């Protein structure tokens, strides 16, 4: 195992206490109810002066936090893929926690994600759960189906003779680590993928136009009329669109969950339409 044995053990204990045992006590009804919740499609349009004109109107399907495992089997992933493909995105962003615990069956997950369709590519970063068991196996399985895994690096995609720089940083829970990784890239991306929304502190300070993140699940339990009031109270950015110094952050509630209860906080895929405000 090339992950974190101690964290993995704690995660297995938490999974048993908050997911497996409650689900068994209810005869599987918790899991069944959780999986009956439809995946919502949220559409957000954002503009930025530094977004390349050639990529004006770019459509990005943003998916995160599948937590493939007990609460999200292949059928749930297939549902998300169908929903994303129906939006006809130009690019797909996967912002971490693709698996929940074990990486042994991640080939099944990526067999489904291989059906995603986007002419400019499918890009992915790892989340904290992806690092628990065998992150190298997760990375290998993703790359085997053509998904580009970004590990503190940037890549350019081309359109009409112009380039869009897509960057991705590996899982981090420390703002100063995010800042160091971004600076070490050498080139600031137009689009940054990060599992943890904390990365926005550094990304906005460096002028990155758009950051996509997950991790919070929107709190999973929120107030009906005020969704920003939720159980992710330790996070400043929990769900939706944020702006700072002209830079934008979009945090998705994610497709999956690590315990079988979502209240006023349904699973979500975000379709981002990015507009260029540059003068032509």
What pLDDT digit, counting tens, does each position of 199-252 carry? 999 999 999 999 999 999 999 989 888 888 887 877 889 999 999 999 999 999
DSSP 3-state of 64:
coil
Digit-coded pLDDT (tens) for 122-143: 999 999 999 999 999 999 999 9
Between the alpha carbon of residue 177 and those of residues 23, 32, 49, 247, 250, the distances in Å are: 38, 39, 27, 19, 20
Which domain covers residue 59, as residue numbers? 5-276
Closest C-alpha to 197, from 221, 225, 169, 160 = 169
Residue 57 in contact with residue 68, Cβ under 8 Å?
Answer: no
pLDDT at 224: 84
Q: What is the mean pLDDT of the chain?
A: 94
CA 188 to chain centre: 20
| Burial environment of residue 33 by CB neighbours within 10 A (0 to 12, 13 to 18, 19 or more) | middle
Percent pLDDT > 90 in the chain is: 80
Neighbours of 143 (CB within 10 A): 13
pTM for this one?
0.96
SS3 breakdown of the chain: % helix, strand, coil, rounded to 5? 30, 25, 40
pLDDT at 223: 87
Q: Return the beta strands (E) in the chain as ranges.
A: 40-48, 58-63, 91-95, 122-125, 148-149, 153-159, 162-169, 191-194, 210-213, 240-244, 247-251, 268-276
- CA-CA distance, 94 to 235, in Å (whole number)? 20
- Is residue 280 very low, low, confident or very high in pLDDT (cuts 50, 70, 90)? low
Supply 11's token pair: 């995660």
Sign of the alpha-carbon torsion through 258, 244, 273, 124: negative
Neighbours of 36 (CB within 10 A): 7
Residue 35 in contact with residue 71, Cβ under 8 Å?
Answer: yes
Closest C-alpha to 129, from 105, 103, 108 = 103
- Is residue 34 very low, low, confident or very high in pLDDT (cuts 50, 70, 90)? confident
CATH of the domain at 109: 3.60.21.10
Digit-coded pLDDT (tens) for 179-213: 999 998 989 999 999 999 999 999 999 999 999 99
- Can you tell me the mean pLDDT for 33-41? 92
Between the alpha carbon of residue 87 and those of residues 30, 58, 249, the distances in Å are: 30, 12, 21
Number of domains into which the chain is organized:
1
Range in 24-38, 89-103, 168-182, 183-197 the model is least confident about: 24-38
DSSP assignment letter at 152 = S
Residue for token pair 């926690």: 97
End-to-end Cα spacing for the chain: 52
């Amino acid at each position: 195992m090339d992950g974190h044995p101690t964290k993995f053990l704690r995660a297995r204990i938490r999974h048993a206490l908050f997911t497996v045992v409650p689900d068994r006590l209810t005869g599987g009804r918790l899991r069944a109810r959780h999986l009956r919740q439809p995946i919502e499609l949220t559409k957000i349009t954002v503009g930025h002066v530094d977004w390349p004109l050639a990529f004006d109107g770019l459509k990005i399907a943003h998916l995160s936090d599948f937590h493939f495992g007990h609460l999200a089997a292949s059928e749930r992933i297939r549902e998300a893929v169908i929903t994303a493909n129906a939006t006809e995105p130009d690019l797909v962003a996967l912002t971490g926690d693709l698996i929940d615990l074990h990486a042994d069956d991640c080939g099944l997950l990526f067999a489904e994600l291989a059906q995603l369709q986007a002419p400019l590519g499918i890009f992915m970063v790892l989340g904290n759960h992806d690092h628990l068991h065998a992150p190298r196996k997760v990375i290998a399985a993703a790359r085997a189906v053509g998904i580009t895994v970004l590990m503190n690096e940037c890549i350019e995609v081309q359109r009409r003779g112009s380039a869009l720089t897509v960057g991705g940083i590996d899982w981090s829970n420390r703002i100063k680590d995010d800042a160091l990784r971004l600076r070490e890239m050498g080139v600031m991306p137009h689009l940054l993928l990060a599992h943890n929304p904390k990365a926005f502190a550094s990304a906005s300070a460096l002028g990155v136009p758009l950051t996509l993140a997950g991790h919070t699940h929107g709190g999973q339990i929120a107030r009906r009329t005020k969704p920003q009031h939720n159980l992710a109270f330790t996070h400043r950015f929990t769900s939706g669109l944020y702006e700072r110094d002209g830079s934008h952050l979009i945090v998705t509630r994610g497709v999956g969950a690590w315990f079988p209860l979502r209240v006023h906080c349904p699973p979500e895929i975000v379709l981002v339409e990015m507009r260029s405000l540059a003068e032509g």
